[in-house]
Amino acid sequence: MARSATLALVVAAVLAAGCGEGSEGEPSGPSGGPAPALGCDEGVGMVSISPETPAPGDTVAIQVENLSEDRVLTYGLANELERAEADEWVAVELPPTPILEIALVVKPGETSGGGGGATQDRLELPEDLAPGEYRLVKTVTSGEPAGGGEIEALTLCAPFALGA
């Protein structure tokens, strides 16, 4: 448990050092909003979307990359969307969509996705999204390949901008 607390402090320090500061000393993003990584875990995995600059109504393909050398990442097809508002990330309400309940696994050093079909992780962006800064949020678990040891829940984020 102490290892998790130490890791959290290290991640917080790295995030604070790598971000700009807003008017009140808070981390900020490129347009003065919240930092893209605020509340997200970095280092073990990374999530990305394609296309990188989508438009409202687009369906984005989602890939999860495992950056670790000895951990397996496991996740499902559920995703969240957040919009930058002032100095915080606010959840965007998505329309109800059936989600296939399966577990996808990414081995150390590998990247998921690209296969298409029913197990391709994707998100259809609502048609009525206003221009601004957004991020896709995905929850994954990190564990040892043999199934032993500690399992850790991680939040991965993929920031992107929507133009007019």
Asked whether residue 11 is domain-assigned, the answer is no
CB 128 within 8 A of CB 81: no
Query: According to the model, what pLDDT value does residue 42 have?
Result: 87
pLDDT digits 0-9 by tens, 50-85:
999 999 999 999 999 999 998 999 999 999 999 999
Asked whether residue 78 is domain-assigned, the answer is yes
d(CA 161, CA 36): 11
Contacts of 96 (CB under 8 A, 6+ apart): none
pLDDT digits 0-9 by tens, 106-160:
999 999 875 666 678 999 999 999 999 999 999 999 988 766 778 899 999 999 9
Parent domain of 89: 36-162
Asked whether residue 58 is domain-assigned, the answer is yes
**Token pair 């920031």: residue:** 159
Asked whether residue 60 is domain-assigned, the answer is yes
Asked whether residue 19 is domain-assigned, the answer is no
For range 15-37, the mean pLDDT: 48
Query: 3-state DSSP call for residue 16?
Result: helix
The number of distinct structural domains making up the chain is: 1
Query: What CATH number is associated with residue 142?
Result: 2.60.40
pTM of the prediction?
Answer: 0.75
Asked whether residue 28 is domain-assigned, the answer is no
